[in-house]
Amino acid sequence: MYSSRTLSLFVVVMVVLAGCASGGDVAPNGDAETPSGETVDGDRDDAEAFSLGDTEQTLREAGSFTVTWQYTGVDRNGIETDVTREFYADLGAERSHTVIATGDGGDDSVTSEQFVANGVTYARTGSGDAASYAVYEGTTDVVGTAIALSQARAYGADDDLAYRGSETFDGVAVDRYELSAASSAIIRAGGVAAGSADEFELTDFEYTVLVDGDGLSRYEAWSFAGRTPEGETVSGEWTYSLTGVGSTTVPDPEWLADAQAQVAN
pLDDT digits (tens, 9 = 90+) for 218-251: 999 988 888 888 888 888 899 999 999 999 999 9
28/86 Cα distance (integer angstroms) = 8
* pLDDT value, residue 264: 73
* pLDDT value, residue 106: 52
* pLDDT value, residue 130: 85
pLDDT digits (tens, 9 = 90+) for 45-90: 544 678 889 999 999 999 999 999 999 988 888 888 899 999 999 9
Residues constituting the chain: 265
Closest CA relative to residue 58, chosen from 174, 222, 214, 202: 214
Residue 158 banded pLDDT, cuts 50, 70, 90: very low
Residue 159 banded pLDDT, cuts 50, 70, 90: low
The pTM score is 0.77
* pLDDT value, residue 12: 46
* pLDDT value, residue 217: 94
Least confident residue range of 40-54, 99-113, 177-191, 210-224: 177-191
User: Strand 132-137 and strand 120-125: pairing?
Assistant: antiparallel
119 pLDDT higher than 90:
yes
What is the average pLDDT across 246-259?
A: 96
Quickly list DSSP for 48-88: GSS----HHHHHHHH-EEEEEEEEEEE-TTS-EEEEEEEEE
Share of the chain above pLDDT 70, in %: 69
Residue 46: phi, psi to the nearest 5? -60, -30
Cβ-proximal residues to 167 (8 Å cutoff; 6+ apart), any chain: 35, 36, 37, 38, 39, 40, 173, 174, 176, 210
Mean pLDDT of the chain: 77
* pLDDT value, residue 209: 92
Where is pLDDT greater, at 243 or 128? 243
What is the average pLDDT across 5-31?
A: 39
Cα dihedral across residues 6, 7, 12, 17: positive or negative = positive
* pLDDT value, residue 29: 35
What ranges do the domains of the chain cover? 4-264
